[in-house]
Amino acid sequence: MPIIKYFPLFLILLLLVNLLYTKPDNIKAFKQGKLNLCILFYFFLTLFSGLGTNYYHISILKTIYYSLTGILIYFIIYFWRLSQTDKLTFLRSMVIIGFLVSLYGIVTLVIKKDVLFAGLEYSKSNLINPKIFLEMGRISSSFGNPLFLGGFLSAIFPPSLFLHLLNLEQKKLPSYLTAIMPIVIFIAIILTFSVGAFLGIIAFYILYHIKIKELYKTSSVYTIYEGARILFFCGIVLLCAVLFMMATNALLYLQGRDYVFGEFFGRFDFHRLANVEAISLRLDSLRCALNFLKTNRCIFGIGIGSIGTGNNQFSRISMDNYYCLSLIESGILASIILIITFYLIMKKGYNRFTNTTLVEQARLEGFLIGSLTIFFINMFFWDLLNHPTMRILFWLLVGFLV
């Protein structure tokens, strides 16, 4: 298991060695952008996380590990200066993985059993048996937690839709092969019942409707594109209906009244899906973060990875909000620079999206902005960048965009 766990790190370091030999000129130019300097400054500040605590030496090691499996990914992609074709190859690979993960999750719901991953050891971020989630009607697939699965699939959905629309024009594959992927991924997102993923997809639809659709008006397959857009709209309506049912049950519970929505199709238990405890935990995270600002640890935080170790005053396993987690573990200085970094990422990406004269490139950048928007929304609902898969994917997409 340790070999499997740290294999991505070995692979990333191998890519770095290859980069140093093949792209030395690109590396010299990294100081040209405010974003690059801001990211490096953020990394520098996180090295002080937990300063003055007994946990500090562990925090430094975790900071380096998180950066090697996150920030370093961005710099490798940035320095490589990948072509549009190379980016599409990466995205196709990720979408295929997302499709397979989605398909397996749907299968587990149908047979009510996680055949492959039910026996895996639980971590501090996944303390509930996937079988418990399946009894509610929530799928977790290979991620072990519906929030993790929802976050991953919602970030992958925009590229899957982009690749389908691209294939409609290029006609390299039968259209049904590329259409089935975003459809299955979208169905799996709904079956995670992840509020963060739902809100992220809704935000992406707004961006899609307002900005991205304009880029397809000159397309040779605009009529087919309109059909895809209408199908997407129907999916959003279904997603909003599910959100309404969950919110209604939660509100009724808080008022001490009976639930309106119960069990559907013998698979979906909306009594249990109205997770009032989760709402309470997230509100408690906000209170913890605000109270932490009054302590003498607020400048540099209590140390990266400290939450859930029992080495501090917080009894929480996780904060269920990455922004609150960053404030508490990294401190206010690093968190401010992190927010500025996120702003610069979106600003630079949006400038590229609006200023490029290449329609296909603008389309891709629009969908990538959608993916990153989904990431930022998911961060309000769970400790997203603590998950190595999500951390790698996030910085990979940032590298593609900027």
Task: Return the half-sphere exposure (C-beta side, CA atoms, 13 A cut-off) of residue 219.
Answer: 21
> Using alpha carbons only, what angle is made at residue 276 by residues 275 and 278, rounded to the nearest 5 degrees?
70
Where do the structural domains in the chain lie, given as residue ranges? 2-401
- Which residues make beta-bridge pairs with 269? 263
How far is the CA of 227 from the CAs of 73, 163, 232, 387, in angstroms? 37, 16, 9, 36
Looking at per-residue confidence, does 242 or 277 come out higher?
242
Confidence band, pLDDT 50/70/90 cuts, at residue 30: low
In 255-293, which residue ranges form alpha helices assigned H by DSSP?
270-273, 276-292
Supply the pTM of this predicted model. 0.91
The one-character DSSP state at 120 is S
Q: What does the mean pLDDT of the chain come to?
A: 87
pLDDT of residue 311 exceeding 80:
no
| Dihedral pair phi/psi, residue 132, rounded to 5° | -65, -45
Query: What's the pLDDT at 1?
Result: 42
pLDDT in tens, 34-69: 898 999 999 999 999 999 888 999 999 999 999 988
DSSP element (H, E) containing 164: helix 146-170
Q: Using 50, 70 and 90 to split pLDDT, how confident is the model at 6?
A: low
pLDDT band for position 127 (cuts 50, 70, 90): low
3-state secondary structure of 264: strand
Mean pLDDT of 184-190: 97
- Which residues 6+ apart lie within 8 Å of 121 measured at CB? none
Q: Kindly give the interhelix angle for 332-355 and 359-378, rounded to the nearest 10 degrees.
A: 160
Q: Between 154 and 306, whose confidence is greater?
A: 154
**Can you point out the beta strands (E) in 86-235?**
none
| Most confident stretch, 19-33, 239-253, 364-378 | 364-378
Three-state DSSP at 77 gives helix
